[in-house]
Amino acid sequence: MRSVTHSTQPIEGQKPGTSGLRKKTPVFMRPHYLENFVQSIFDTVGARGKTFVLGGDGRYFNDRAAQVILKMAAANGVARMIVGQGALLSTPAASHLIRLNETDGGIILSASHNPGGPTEDFGVKFNMPNGGPAPEAVTEAMFARTREIAEYRILEGAEVDLSAPGRVTLGAMQVDVVDPVADYAALMESLFDFEAIRALVKSGFTMRFDGMCAVTGPYAHEILERRLGMAEGTVVQGAPLPDFGGHHPDPNPTWAHALMEEMMGPKAPDFGAASDGDGDRNMIVGRGIYVSPSDSLAVLAANAHLAPAYKGGLKGVARSMPTSCAVDRVAKALRIEAYETPTGWKFFGNLLDAGRATLCGEESFGTGSDHVREKDGLWAVLLWLNILAVRKASVAEILHDHWKTYGRNYYSRHDFEALDTHAAEEMMSRLKASIPTLPGTEIEGLAILSADDFAYHDPVDGSVARAQGVRVRFTDGSRIVLRLSGTGTEGATLRLYLERYEPDPSRHDLDPQEALGPVIRAAHALAGIREQIGRDRPNVIT
């Protein structure tokens, strides 16, 4: 086996977005594309003598990309790679392995909730030794490297057999192929009261988990069916497929509609959940009731002490800026700090490392805690199960009880996908330019209290992230936020986030779209959505 150095040239646009570098699969498969980016990672964080974790969500090209990365790691002098069997690892499991083995970081192959397949999406992400996504300073350095790269190193020769756990070598590099589920499942058992959940299951409690043909299936089969004793068949679409069965592996009411229909139907089980392509997102549904991710975060924060890992209470909570303020109300009652960060899990890392936050969440179906440094789909499902087991109440009861105590933050996100990039950017710049003129004015009967383009000052390392989304607050506590997505691979996606607070319990059962009516109209009027991007209606509502 021989290490060769190939000369190469910089490739345009290898700039990581909200969560790693995401492109169409055929783009990633072009000559030198993956190699340039991986060499730029090694050039930025160093390779010689280091140990990294490697795995992905199993989408098309996952297996071949893993082989390329292993050969490049060996040629760059990496000492050891820990790889999930079959090159599979969910994002939270990868984060855990990075921490458990005290490695120098990891490479995760995933485009998360984006569809997979020969003409769909692929992605590569680097996580730091703390297990969390690389912060902006690091991804910026990687991007800068891609713009001056002149060569990459790779081993020529046989591929590594990843089909079974065990230790092999590749040149001078040690490769440990590990069961992707075992260590993660053990971590979950250490956090939650599995005994109590097993008792709940024995008492007749039923659940449906939709793996969406993505990476969480094997984890869910092991934990829910084998360790917690739920009936076989509890987990559906549990086998990971390279094209996710042709579905969009995004756990929301639009893309997980089969689960939604079952949960709203006459034969609904007690509890339903779904996870995304790489296993870091979760959707929670009770019998006949959908739990919005922002509410889920708030309920978990208010009840976390019922699970063994959090019985000492929470140090603090953090939410992304567009996420509803429901969790802030819980933090206030608990007298703990509530942090507001930009969109993307990388911004939670410092707060978790510094012990300032225990629970974090995003409106985009992401919740997690300091047990890893990624959001974690199954973790959220298990915390819900632990709470249900202790409180012996239904999801609907817990949710209504929560709203009664804290009031309800009606919330929705409207996505306008595949927009003309120029038009979308133009709309955002016009909106930003109008910010100073907004406070004190009225729109659609709502009085504007404040408006800004969100900037985050990290309280731990002092770094500043600007231009993270336009937020407009109204005097009645309502809020709208607009930003462009940083994970898409086609045109632009406008995300419009809408929120309205309702303290009156007699008004807690409205349809969120109706309850938010005035806020929605104000948002459209303010941004001139129809005039600017030619669209009246969103194509995804969550």
Q: Would you please indicate which residues are annotated as catalytic (active-site) residues?
A: 112
Nearer to ligand VG1, 320 or 367 (CB): 320
The window from 169-177, 205-213, 270-278, 380-388 that contacts Co ion (CB under 5 A) reads: 270-278
Give the pair of three-digit tokens for residue 234: 């509890």
Nearer to ligand VG1, 123 or 286 (CB): 123
Nearer to ligand VG1, 40 or 485 (CB): 485
* Residue 18 contacts which entry, Co ion, ligand VG1, none (Cβ below 5-8 A, type-dependent): ligand VG1
Please name the residues in contact with 34: beta carbons below 8 A apart, sequence gap of 6 or more: 28, 65, 68, 69, 124
225 contacts Co ion (rule: CB under 5 A): no
343 contacts Co ion (rule: CB under 5 A): no
Please name the residues in contact with 445: beta carbons below 8 A apart, sequence gap of 6 or more: 518
Nearer to ligand VG1, 318 or 388 (CB): 318
210 contacts Co ion (rule: CB under 5 A): no
Alpha helices in 148-267 (DSSP H): 182-191, 194-202, 216-220, 257-264
Report phi then psi at 19, rounded to 5. -150, 75
* Residue 495 contacts which entry, ligand VG1, Co ion, none (Cβ below 5-8 A, type-dependent): ligand VG1
363 contacts Co ion (rule: CB under 5 A): no
* Residue 343 contacts which entry, ligand VG1, Co ion, none (Cβ below 5-8 A, type-dependent): ligand VG1
* Residue 486 contacts which entry, ligand VG1, Co ion, none (Cβ below 5-8 A, type-dependent): ligand VG1
Out of 193, 222, 225, 280, the only residue in the binding site for Co ion (CB under 5 A) is 280
CA dihedral (113, 218, 196, 99) in degrees, to 10, reads: -70
3-class secondary structure, 223: helix
* Residue 485 contacts which entry, Co ion, ligand VG1, none (Cβ below 5-8 A, type-dependent): ligand VG1
Query: What is the distance between the alpha carbons of residues 447 and 357, in angstroms, rounded to a whole number?
Result: 33
* Residue 328 contacts which entry, ligand VG1, Co ion, none (Cβ below 5-8 A, type-dependent): none
* Residue 532 contacts which entry, Co ion, ligand VG1, none (Cβ below 5-8 A, type-dependent): none
Give the pair of three-digit tokens for residue 150: 């002149």
> How far apart are CB 494 and ligand VG1 at their closest, in Å?
10
How many Cα neighbours within 13 Å face the side chain of 24?
7
User: Which residues are at the interface with ligand VG1 (CB under 6 A)?
Assistant: 18-19, 112-113, 276, 280-281, 320, 343-345, 362, 364, 366, 485-487, 495
> How far apart are CB 385 and ligand VG1 at their closest, in Å?
21
278 contacts Co ion (rule: CB under 5 A): yes
Strand partners, 53: 82, 106
* Residue 90 contacts which entry, ligand VG1, Co ion, none (Cβ below 5-8 A, type-dependent): none
- Between the two ends of the chain, the Cα-to-Cα distance in Å is 52
Query: What is the distance between the alpha carbons of residues 160 and 168, in angstroms, rounded to a whole number?
Result: 8
Query: What is the distance between the alpha carbons of residues 13 and 2, in angstroms, rounded to a whole number?
Result: 31
Site string for Co ion, 281-300 (x = CB under 5 A): x-------------------
Nearer to Co ion, 283 or 446 (CB): 283
Query: What is the distance between the alpha carbons of residues 224 and 212, in angstroms, rounded to a whole number?
Result: 16
* Residue 487 contacts which entry, Co ion, ligand VG1, none (Cβ below 5-8 A, type-dependent): ligand VG1
> How far apart are CB 323 and ligand VG1 at their closest, in Å?
8
Based on C-alpha coordinates, what's the Rg of the chain? 23
- The answer to whether residues 483 and 419 touch, using CB atoms and an 8 Å cutoff, is no
Nearer to Co ion, 105 or 279 (CB): 279
> How far apart are CB 534 and ligand VG1 at their closest, in Å?
21
Could you tell me how many residues of this chain bind Co ion (CB under 5 A)? 5
Nearer to ligand VG1, 328 or 362 (CB): 362
User: Hey, what long-range contacts does 200-204 have (CB within 8 A, 24 or more apart)?
Assistant: 200/385, 200/388, 200/389, 201/228, 201/229, 201/230, 202/229
CA distances from 287 to 9, 203, 267, 399 (A): 55, 17, 9, 12
> How far apart are CB 61 and Co ion at their closest, in Å?
17
Nearer to ligand VG1, 51 or 323 (CB): 323
Strands 80-88 and 51-56: parallel
Site string for Co ion, 107-136 (x = CB under 5 A): -----x------------------------
Query: What is the distance between the alpha carbons of residues 359 and 375, in angstroms, rounded to a whole number?
Result: 10
The window from 207-215, 268-276, 330-338, 490-498 that contacts Co ion (CB under 5 A) reads: 268-276
- H-run or E-run covering 498: strand 492-502
How many Cα neighbours within 13 Å face the side chain of 448?
22
Please name the residues in contact with 94: beta carbons below 8 A apart, sequence gap of 6 or more: 53, 55, 84, 106, 108, 127, 374
341 contacts Co ion (rule: CB under 5 A): no
57 contacts Co ion (rule: CB under 5 A): no
Query: What is the distance between the alpha carbons of residues 382 and 397, in angstroms, rounded to a whole number?
Result: 18
Nearer to Co ion, 193 or 362 (CB): 362
Nearer to ligand VG1, 122 or 403 (CB): 122
CA distances from 165 to 82, 88, 160, 226 (A): 10, 12, 12, 20
75-114: contacts with Co ion (CB under 5 A): 112
The window from 197-205, 255-263, 280-288, 323-331 that contacts Co ion (CB under 5 A) reads: 280-288
CA distances from 339 to 255, 325, 520 (A): 30, 11, 26
> How far apart are CB 437 and ligand VG1 at their closest, in Å?
27
* Residue 120 contacts which entry, ligand VG1, Co ion, none (Cβ below 5-8 A, type-dependent): none
Task: Name the site residues for Co ion (rule: CB under 5 A).
Answer: 112, 276, 278, 280-281
